Amino acid sequence: MKKTLIFAAAFAIVPFFAQAATLVFPSDAPIASVAIPDAWGPKETISGIEATSPDSAIYFSIDVATDKNMDKVIQDAVKFLTDNGVTIDDTTKRDSGDVEINGMTFGSVEFDGKDADGPVEVSLGFASPSEGKMLVVTYWGTKATQDAHSKELVGILTSLKPAK
């Protein structure tokens, strides 16, 4: 009985220690790394990584850009959002200011918007992990449920590091 209780107690705390994958991207010439909970289904894309929260309330991606293709990467991010039914209200544009994350200056521009589920927050973030390289972070979150993921999101963003 005692072993059963110990096993049950140990099994009950497993969800508090969710597994997180550390992705180094792009895999052929690493620029940065980030830890994303496995439940978010992180995967490498052609230009970076992407993940979605288990309840589909939050989508984000991190794309690698250069000085030459930065505008195209931003245009592609906005096109992805609009292709997925997100309407961005340009009149709500606000600059979040800069913070330092693992030696990189990170800044973002945020907007209010709408999708099929209602009000959303959209953000485009920027960080430079190395000379001539830029990370473009695209965030799209349902306002009604995004707060439930705040700890995970802070963990993901604070894990973002330049590749060594």
Q: What is the pLDDT of residues 137-160, one digit of tens each?
A: 999 999 998 889 999 999 999 999
Say if residue 59 is exposed, middle or buried (CB neighbours under 10 Å; 0-12, 13-18, 19+). buried
Report the C-alpha gap between 48 and 156 in whole angstroms: 15
Q: What was the pLDDT predicted at 10?
A: 35
Report the C-alpha gap between 126 and 123 in whole angstroms: 10
- Nearest C-alpha neighbor of 109 from the set 121, 92, 93, 87: 93
Model confidence pLDDT, tens digit, residues 42-75? 999 998 999 999 999 999 999 999 989 999 999 9
Report the C-alpha gap between 38 and 53 in whole angstroms: 10
Residue count (the chain): 164
CA distances from 40 to 33, 57, 108 (A): 16, 11, 22
- What CATH code would you report for 19-162? 3.40.1000.10
Q: What was the pLDDT predicted at 18?
A: 57
Report the C-alpha gap between 133 and 127 in whole angstroms: 9
